[in-house]
Amino acid sequence: MAVLRIFHYPEPVLNQKAQPVEQIDGELKILARDMAETMYAAPGVGLAAPQVGISKRMVVIDCARKDQEPQLIVAVNPEIVEEQGELFEEEGCLSVPGYYARVPRSARVKVRYQNLEGQVVEQEVEELLAVAFQHEIDHLEGTLFVDHLSPLKRSIFRKKYKKMLAQQQEQM
């Protein structure tokens, strides 16, 4: 098992549309395991392959609370097939460390994906798990949660983020 490097905004791989997975093989299963290990180590509730520099349509998600058993979902070629309702939850991202913002999302979604055995799974999810699926699928489209902000808030984000990065560089 390996903890992989998480790519941070504004690295170009984060703005590229990921390629569909054509074949579920041993290499993909190792990538899924390493992505899960990376997500847990970060710690986060989701991670998409582009966040570790790999342009494949695969995500790992686990929204279990710390006092619960892990509930890892590995979703290959995930897509949202139905959306209902709306909510505004504060989101963060492992690729945009230290920044959080309220983003509009659907309250409930039906997702379709393949598991690592190649079986097609359809699942209706809500609340945090629905937000996590939408957030991670956005990564597969080359979209970050900050891209959902209004132009003004996005401009403020860029300024704050550049300042934060500059401060981190000074501390090194």
What residues are labeled active site? 136
**How far from 78 is each of 60, 110, 132, CA to CA, in Å?**
10, 10, 12
| 3-class SS of residue 119 | coil
Q: Distance (Å, rounded) from C-alpha 104 to C-alpha 154?
A: 14
Q: Distance (Å, rounded) from C-alpha 107 to C-alpha 116?
A: 27
Strands 120-126 and 87-91, by their bridges, are unpaired
